Amino acid sequence: MAVGPFCVPPNPLLGCDPPCPPPRLSALPRSALCCLRPGAGAALRRAMAAALKPLVAVGQVTSTPDKEQNFAACAGLVREAAQRGACLVFLPEGFDYIGSNVAQTLSLAEGLDGALMRRYAELARDCGVWLSLGGFHERGQDWAATQRIYNCHVLLDSAGHLVAAYRKTHLCDVELEGRVSMKESSFTNPGPEIVAPVSTPAGKLGLSVCYDLRFPELSLALRRAGAEILTYPSAFTVYTGSAHWEVLLRARAIESQCYVVAAAQTGKNHEHRTSYGHSLVVDPWGSVVAQCHEGPGLCYAEIDLEFLHRIRREIPVQSHRRHDLYSTVELVP
């Protein structure tokens, strides 16, 4: 029998009996890909995948100091996203763990060549997806000398290769009396450079981490370098998140005319910390097109690059910017 514009199993291709007319590929749901038999439907599978816009998945987790528990939770989300047809899965800052104090945070850190990153590389290979791992506690090459870590956003391709590593350049030193107290610079080295956008199956991805969201100079630099998607894996507090999270993400999307993808920590990470959550995706017009509910989970969004480039043509702010003027303003005595 037929349902709407597509067929349901089984049939030589999509599986109706009697056979249906050839389906219009763009009208097929993404889930119809799983109905195709690996051999006989290979050509149709490729054609259908090409007709669909890239799907990204955004993870929301509650990391704790238990690294094994955290990996199991994140791996479950990655596998679920891969089954849904996502080509790129985003995990938040602190996906590896969130320590309850500085000493524990430093003691649990690993290098990029450590066991945990090898497990994520294997996960990417097994699932056939790219992974944006935002906010890995990295023991860098200078660990022995500094005893400080980097807050490192790691990008793995679907073969498990490390494609890019961006180390957070803006460290969160905030003191809101009686509400929020953070001094990331007391145990973290600031990253030395911005990383050029990376071509992924979903588009050109610009890497940032959490507090970087408050600095439009970074997002605009990535936009000038060709970014189509900006990502801000985060662990915002409830106090700052409820006030600033969505409005900052939408502002970054509007001013850069990029998709913005923000995976977030949610809930009680340990006795001293609760995270805001609200992982979301914003399109280049500034509309929230996907958002997670409370608690761990996933949200999904299609990346429509034709829509993105139409917005850039219709409101060409990039060509209107006056870089010849922005550095000429002087302080008035």
Reply yes or no on whether 138 is catalytic: no
Which residues partner with 301 through β-bridges?
56
Reply yes or no on whether 177 is catalytic: no
Beta-sheet strands, E only, within the chain: 2-3, 6-7, 55-61, 88-91, 130-138, 150-156, 162-167, 173-176, 180-183, 198-200, 203-207, 229-231, 259-262, 264-270, 273-276, 280-282, 288-291, 297-302
- Residue given tokens 């793995």 in the structure block: 156
Distance CA 138, CA 48 (A): 40
**Cα→Cα distances 126→137, 240, 317, Å:** 24, 37, 42
User: Which of the residues 35, 87, 93, 228 is marked catalytic?
Assistant: 93
| Cα Rg of the chain, angstroms | 21
- Residue given tokens 């894996």 in the structure block: 233
Reply yes or no on whether 127 is catalytic: no
User: Which of the residues 35, 74, 87, 168 is marked catalytic?
Assistant: 168
Distance CA 107, CA 99 (A): 9
Which residues partner with 89 through β-bridges?
57, 131
Q: How far apart are the first and last CA of the chain?
A: 79
The pair of structure tokens assigned to 25 is 């590929």
Among candidates 111, 124, 109, 37, which has minimal Cα distance to 78?
Answer: 124
**Cα→Cα distances 217→26, 42, 132, 209, 214, Å:** 38, 45, 22, 14, 9
Q: Strand, helix or coil at 250?
A: helix
Q: Strand, helix or coil at 198?
A: strand
Residues with a catalytic annotation lie at 93, 168, 210
